[in-house]
Amino acid sequence: MNDAPSPRCVICPRQLLDHETGRYICLPCEHRIDQDLRKLAGPAGLYARLCLRIQPGRGGSDGPVVSGTPGRQLPGGEPLNLTANGGIVSDLETWVRDWATYGLATIGTGGRLQHRVDQAITTLRLNLPHAASRHPALDDFSKEVYKIRAQAETIISGERAPRRIPVTCPCGTVRTVTLDTDGFQCSGCGTEYGHSEALRLTVAERRAA
Protein backbone atom coordinates (compact mmCIF):
# COMPACT_ATOMS: atom_id res chain seq x y z
CA MET A 1 0.00 0.00 0.00
CA ASN A 2 1.29 3.40 -0.96
CA ASP A 3 0.76 6.39 1.28
CA ALA A 4 0.48 8.82 -1.62
CA PRO A 5 -2.68 8.49 -3.72
CA SER A 6 -1.91 6.83 -7.02
CA PRO A 7 -2.01 9.11 -10.06
CA ARG A 8 -5.16 9.35 -12.12
CA CYS A 9 -5.80 8.77 -15.80
CA VAL A 10 -5.55 12.12 -17.64
CA ILE A 11 -8.69 11.29 -19.62
CA CYS A 12 -11.14 9.77 -17.16
CA PRO A 13 -11.02 10.27 -13.40
CA ARG A 14 -9.97 6.69 -12.63
CA GLN A 15 -7.01 6.12 -10.38
CA LEU A 16 -4.36 4.15 -12.18
CA LEU A 17 -3.97 0.61 -10.95
CA ASP A 18 -0.70 -1.05 -10.02
CA HIS A 19 -0.25 -2.60 -13.43
CA GLU A 20 -0.89 0.84 -14.99
CA THR A 21 1.95 2.52 -13.11
CA GLY A 22 3.88 5.01 -15.20
CA ARG A 23 1.07 5.55 -17.70
CA TYR A 24 -0.82 8.75 -18.46
CA ILE A 25 -4.03 6.92 -19.23
CA CYS A 26 -5.79 3.82 -18.00
CA LEU A 27 -6.15 0.70 -20.09
CA PRO A 28 -9.92 1.15 -20.73
CA CYS A 29 -9.26 4.63 -22.14
CA GLU A 30 -6.49 3.26 -24.34
CA HIS A 31 -8.87 0.59 -25.57
CA ARG A 32 -11.59 3.14 -26.34
CA ILE A 33 -9.20 5.32 -28.38
CA ASP A 34 -7.99 2.26 -30.25
CA GLN A 35 -11.57 1.26 -31.09
CA ASP A 36 -12.40 4.76 -32.35
CA LEU A 37 -9.34 4.71 -34.61
CA ARG A 38 -10.04 1.18 -35.82
CA LYS A 39 -13.61 2.09 -36.80
CA LEU A 40 -12.40 4.94 -39.01
CA ALA A 41 -9.89 2.94 -41.07
CA GLY A 42 -10.08 0.56 -43.99
CA PRO A 43 -12.31 0.02 -47.00
CA ALA A 44 -15.37 -0.61 -44.81
CA GLY A 45 -14.42 1.96 -42.19
CA LEU A 46 -16.24 5.16 -41.35
CA TYR A 47 -13.99 7.34 -43.50
CA ALA A 48 -14.59 5.20 -46.59
CA ARG A 49 -18.32 5.14 -45.92
CA LEU A 50 -18.36 8.90 -45.44
CA CYS A 51 -16.71 9.27 -48.85
CA LEU A 52 -19.52 7.23 -50.37
CA ARG A 53 -22.08 9.63 -48.95
CA ILE A 54 -20.75 12.68 -50.67
CA GLN A 55 -20.79 13.71 -54.25
CA PRO A 56 -18.02 12.12 -56.26
CA GLY A 57 -15.19 13.84 -58.02
CA ARG A 58 -15.18 17.18 -56.24
CA GLY A 59 -13.02 18.94 -53.73
CA GLY A 60 -9.97 16.92 -54.71
CA SER A 61 -11.47 13.85 -53.08
CA ASP A 62 -10.24 10.64 -54.58
CA GLY A 63 -12.67 8.55 -52.65
CA PRO A 64 -14.68 5.82 -54.31
CA VAL A 65 -16.67 7.10 -57.26
CA VAL A 66 -20.40 6.60 -57.01
CA SER A 67 -23.15 7.73 -59.26
CA GLY A 68 -25.24 10.51 -57.93
CA THR A 69 -26.82 13.82 -58.75
CA PRO A 70 -24.08 16.37 -59.43
CA GLY A 71 -23.99 19.08 -56.85
CA ARG A 72 -25.67 16.96 -54.24
CA GLN A 73 -24.40 17.69 -50.79
CA LEU A 74 -25.64 17.26 -47.28
CA PRO A 75 -26.82 20.32 -45.38
CA GLY A 76 -23.93 22.40 -44.11
CA GLY A 77 -21.50 20.78 -46.51
CA GLU A 78 -19.83 18.97 -43.63
CA PRO A 79 -19.08 15.58 -45.16
CA LEU A 80 -17.27 17.16 -48.08
CA ASN A 81 -15.02 19.11 -45.74
CA LEU A 82 -14.53 16.09 -43.51
CA THR A 83 -13.43 13.78 -46.29
CA ALA A 84 -11.44 16.30 -48.32
CA ASN A 85 -7.81 17.20 -47.84
CA GLY A 86 -7.81 19.42 -44.75
CA GLY A 87 -10.52 17.36 -43.07
CA ILE A 88 -10.19 14.11 -41.15
CA VAL A 89 -7.03 13.12 -43.00
CA SER A 90 -5.24 16.31 -42.03
CA ASP A 91 -6.42 16.11 -38.42
CA LEU A 92 -4.97 12.60 -38.17
CA GLU A 93 -1.74 13.54 -39.94
CA THR A 94 -1.28 16.48 -37.59
CA TRP A 95 -1.29 14.02 -34.71
CA VAL A 96 1.08 11.70 -36.58
CA ARG A 97 3.56 14.56 -36.99
CA ASP A 98 3.14 15.46 -33.32
CA TRP A 99 3.63 11.88 -32.19
CA ALA A 100 6.61 11.51 -34.50
CA THR A 101 8.42 14.20 -32.51
CA TYR A 102 8.17 11.81 -29.55
CA GLY A 103 9.35 8.91 -31.68
CA LEU A 104 5.85 7.51 -31.51
CA ALA A 105 4.75 7.55 -35.15
CA THR A 106 6.00 7.12 -38.68
CA ILE A 107 5.06 9.90 -41.06
CA GLY A 108 3.16 8.54 -44.06
CA THR A 109 4.27 8.41 -47.65
CA GLY A 110 1.26 10.27 -49.05
CA GLY A 111 -0.95 9.02 -51.83
CA ARG A 112 -4.69 8.78 -52.06
CA LEU A 113 -6.70 10.26 -49.22
CA GLN A 114 -8.00 6.86 -48.09
CA HIS A 115 -4.44 5.53 -48.08
CA ARG A 116 -3.24 8.51 -46.05
CA VAL A 117 -6.03 8.00 -43.52
CA ASP A 118 -5.19 4.30 -43.21
CA GLN A 119 -1.46 4.99 -42.88
CA ALA A 120 -2.04 7.56 -40.16
CA ILE A 121 -4.37 5.27 -38.22
CA THR A 122 -2.05 2.29 -38.56
CA THR A 123 0.91 4.12 -37.06
CA LEU A 124 -1.19 5.75 -34.33
CA ARG A 125 -2.73 2.42 -33.29
CA LEU A 126 0.63 0.67 -33.43
CA ASN A 127 2.18 3.25 -31.11
CA LEU A 128 -0.80 3.90 -28.85
CA PRO A 129 0.38 1.45 -26.14
CA HIS A 130 3.71 3.33 -25.96
CA ALA A 131 2.05 6.72 -26.18
CA ALA A 132 -0.06 5.73 -23.18
CA SER A 133 2.97 6.23 -20.97
CA ARG A 134 4.98 8.68 -23.07
CA HIS A 135 2.67 11.27 -24.63
CA PRO A 136 1.36 13.95 -22.26
CA ALA A 137 -1.45 15.25 -24.53
CA LEU A 138 -3.48 12.08 -24.83
CA ASP A 139 -6.49 13.88 -23.41
CA ASP A 140 -6.68 16.18 -26.45
CA PHE A 141 -5.94 13.31 -28.79
CA SER A 142 -8.66 11.19 -27.26
CA LYS A 143 -11.23 13.99 -27.54
CA GLU A 144 -10.40 14.67 -31.16
CA VAL A 145 -10.51 11.02 -32.22
CA TYR A 146 -13.79 10.61 -30.37
CA LYS A 147 -15.22 13.69 -32.11
CA ILE A 148 -14.16 12.50 -35.56
CA ARG A 149 -15.63 9.04 -34.99
CA ALA A 150 -18.90 10.34 -33.53
CA GLN A 151 -19.32 12.95 -36.26
CA ALA A 152 -18.76 10.39 -39.01
CA GLU A 153 -21.19 7.94 -37.43
CA THR A 154 -23.86 10.58 -37.02
CA ILE A 155 -23.65 11.66 -40.63
CA ILE A 156 -23.60 8.11 -41.96
CA SER A 157 -26.51 6.92 -39.84
CA GLY A 158 -28.50 10.06 -40.61
CA GLU A 159 -27.98 9.56 -44.31
CA ARG A 160 -28.63 5.83 -44.34
CA ALA A 161 -32.40 6.17 -44.15
CA PRO A 162 -33.66 9.43 -45.61
CA ARG A 163 -37.01 10.12 -43.99
CA ARG A 164 -39.89 9.36 -46.32
CA ILE A 165 -42.95 11.54 -46.03
CA PRO A 166 -46.36 10.74 -47.43
CA VAL A 167 -47.89 13.37 -49.72
CA THR A 168 -51.38 13.51 -51.09
CA CYS A 169 -52.22 14.97 -54.48
CA PRO A 170 -55.57 16.82 -54.60
CA CYS A 171 -56.72 13.96 -56.84
CA GLY A 172 -56.37 11.65 -53.85
CA THR A 173 -53.26 9.79 -54.97
CA VAL A 174 -50.81 9.21 -52.11
CA ARG A 175 -47.09 8.65 -52.51
CA THR A 176 -43.97 9.23 -50.42
CA VAL A 177 -41.16 11.66 -51.04
CA THR A 178 -37.97 12.57 -49.22
CA LEU A 179 -37.03 16.07 -48.12
CA ASP A 180 -34.55 16.36 -50.98
CA THR A 181 -36.99 15.18 -53.64
CA ASP A 182 -36.57 16.71 -57.08
CA GLY A 183 -40.32 16.55 -57.53
CA PHE A 184 -42.55 13.95 -59.13
CA GLN A 185 -45.39 13.40 -61.52
CA CYS A 186 -48.60 12.17 -59.95
CA SER A 187 -49.42 8.70 -61.19
CA GLY A 188 -53.14 9.40 -60.71
CA CYS A 189 -53.76 12.65 -62.61
CA GLY A 190 -50.40 13.34 -64.25
CA THR A 191 -49.83 16.66 -62.48
CA GLU A 192 -46.15 17.54 -62.26
CA TYR A 193 -44.81 18.78 -58.95
CA GLY A 194 -41.44 20.43 -58.42
CA HIS A 195 -39.42 20.22 -55.22
CA SER A 196 -41.23 22.94 -53.28
CA GLU A 197 -44.69 22.05 -54.59
CA ALA A 198 -44.12 18.45 -53.58
CA LEU A 199 -43.12 19.49 -50.07
CA ARG A 200 -46.14 21.80 -49.83
CA LEU A 201 -48.32 18.74 -50.34
CA THR A 202 -46.74 17.22 -47.23
CA VAL A 203 -47.61 20.33 -45.22
CA ALA A 204 -51.18 20.16 -46.49
CA GLU A 205 -51.24 16.51 -45.50
CA ARG A 206 -50.08 17.29 -41.97
CA ARG A 207 -52.62 20.10 -41.59
CA ALA A 208 -55.38 17.82 -42.78
CA ALA A 209 -54.33 15.09 -40.38
**Smallest separation, CB 143 to Zn ion (Å):** 13
**Smallest separation, CB 29 to Zn ion (Å):** 3
**Smallest separation, CB 191 to Zn ion (Å):** 5
d(Cα 152, Cα 82) in Å, to the nearest integer?
Answer: 8
Interface with Zn ion (CB under 5 A), residue total 12
Please report, as residue ranges, which positions from 174 to 193 form the binding site for Zn ion (by CB under 5 A): 186, 188-189
**Smallest separation, CB 24 to Zn ion (Å):** 9
x/- string (CB under 5 A) for Zn ion, residues 10-49?
-xx-x-----------x--x--------------------
Q: Which is nearer to Zn ion, 154 or 191 (CB)?
A: 191
Instruction: Pick from 88, 152, 169, 201 the residue near Zn ion by CB under 5 A.
Output: 169
Q: Which stretch binds Zn ion (CB under 5 A): 36-44, 94-102, 103-111, 164-172?
A: 164-172
The answer to whether the CB of 130 falls within 8 A of the CB of 23 is no
Please report, as residue ranges, which positions from 112 to 151 form the binding site for Zn ion (by CB under 5 A): none
**Smallest separation, CB 207 to Zn ion (Å):** 18
Q: Which is nearer to Zn ion, 64 or 170 (CB)?
A: 170
**C-alpha 1: how far from its chain's center?**
44
Per the DSSP assignment, residues forming a β-bridge with 185 are 192
Contact residues toward Zn ion (CB under 5 A) are 9, 11-12, 14, 26, 29, 169, 171, 173, 186, 188-189
